[in-house]
Amino acid sequence: MEEKVLTGKLYDIQGFSVQDGPGIRTTAFLKGCPLRCPWCHSPESQSYEDQLSWISMRCQGVDACDSRCIKACPKGAIELGGTRLDAKTMEELQIIHVNRDLCDNCGKCAEVCHPQALYICGKDYTVEELVQRLLQDRKFFKMGGGVTISGGECLTQPEFTYQVLKRLKEEGINTAVDTTGFCKWEIIERILPYTDLFLYDLKHMDSEKHKAVVAVPNEPILENARKIAAAGGKMQVRIPVIPMFNHDEENIRKTAEFCKELGDAVTVIQLLPYHNMGVSKYMRISDKPVAEATPPSDAYMQKLKGIMEEYGLPVTIH
């Protein structure tokens, strides 16, 4: 019997990244996440499956392509939709609509959509395929950069993530893992020798509120952070500051107290103000409305930064 080759499912690879760890990095984004953060700026990361994405502004109109996508869909999920104006000619174009109740993400429509208004989000890589792609950017890592494995939650594909990290360390590459921390400790313990830095999300210190909003409790997250610190791991703690969820001073102080408890394991705390740039991404994969909030002001972010600095913590705003 032929041995099955290990693969991982990604939704993106971004080079020249300066937001996902120290230096210039290449970030591999794996699909799948157990959390359901309403503010998620990459909603396509949540599902473990391939997904049909639809960007209306790329559509050149059904007349231009003789309705190829409509004809290609075996389920009848690609329908005539509304219209949009062509930015150059100001001509009104008849575009399509994806009936999500009928679509099974087979990708037949995407295969014939040359402008890539329709495309499948999700691509399978073997460990070696991904490592070789990442090593193409090696020359950019010389000034303290490296590779970050992110998601979604990359630790929901634990064996693939472990094997990729192990291979990267064999190549002498600095590695970072961007994680929610919501997984079994054994998964983190296994990758610790091959992970130079954890980009570690902390969303709320109250477990009930954490579960009510993002669908999982926070006890495993906090306990795993303590264990990483005890094992000598390093963390950049990331706190998304979300209005009406975790932006109040009480929660920020409790978060600071917890980070202080982790000691030298915390290299920096990054306060990440909520933004609504992910809203358009939801529209690519779903017809469901998305709730939006007002981003916190610069002055308020500075106030929260000051609170955390009272505890002697290194804090930045990103």
How many other C-beta atoms are found inside a 10 Å radius of the C-beta of residue 248?
Answer: 12
pLDDT at 2: 63
Distance CA 76, CA 225 (A): 48
Residue 267 lies in a domain: yes
Q: What is the CATH number of the domain that holds 263?
A: 3.20.20.70
What pLDDT score was predicted for residue 170?
A: 98
Q: Are 91 and 59 in contact (CB under 8 A)?
A: no
Number of domains in the chain: 2
The answer as to whether 94 is a domain residue is: yes
Asked if 296 and 241 count as a contact pair (C-beta separation under 8 A), the reply is yes
Residues 155 and 299 in one domain: yes
CA torsion through residues 180, 173, 126, 117, sign: positive
Shared domain for 218 and 260, answered yes or no, is: yes
pLDDT given at position 28: 98
Q: Are residues 191 and 294 in the same domain?
A: yes
- Are residues 32 and 85 located together in one domain of the fold? no
Residue (of 89, 111, 217, 201) closest to 154 by Cα position: 201
At residue 1, the pLDDT reads 55
Of the residues 71, 99, 120, which one is the last residue of a structural domain? 120
* Res 113: pLDDT: 97
Residues 97, 218 within the same domain: no
> Secondary structure of the chain in the HEC alphabet?
CCCCCCEEEEEEEEEEECCCCCCCEEEEEECCCCCCCCCCCCHHHCCCCCEEEECHHHCCCHHHHCCHHHHHCCCCCEEEEEEEECCCCCCEEEEEEECCCCCCCCCHHHHCCCCCCEEEECEEEEHHHHHHHHHCCHHHHHHCCEEEEECCCHHHCHHHHHHHHHHHHHCCCCEEEEECCCCCHHHHHHHHHHCCEEEEECCCCCHHHHHHHHCCCCHHHHHHHHHHHHCCCCEEEEEEECCCCCCCHHHHHHHHHHHHHCHHHEEEEEEEECCCCCHHHHHHHCCCCCCCCCCCCHHHHHHHHHHHHCCCCCEEEC
How far apart are alpha carbons 190 and 193 in whole angstroms? 7
Tell me how crowded residue 199 is: count the other CB atoms within 10 A of its CB: 20
Q: Domain end: 120, 135, 161, which one?
A: 120
pLDDT of residue 290: 76
Instruction: Specify the pLDDT at position 132.
Output: 98
Range of the domain at 19: 7-49+123-317
Same structural domain, 237 and 286: yes
Residues of the chain under the 50 pLDDT cut: none
- Distance (Å, whole) CA 231 – CA 212: 31
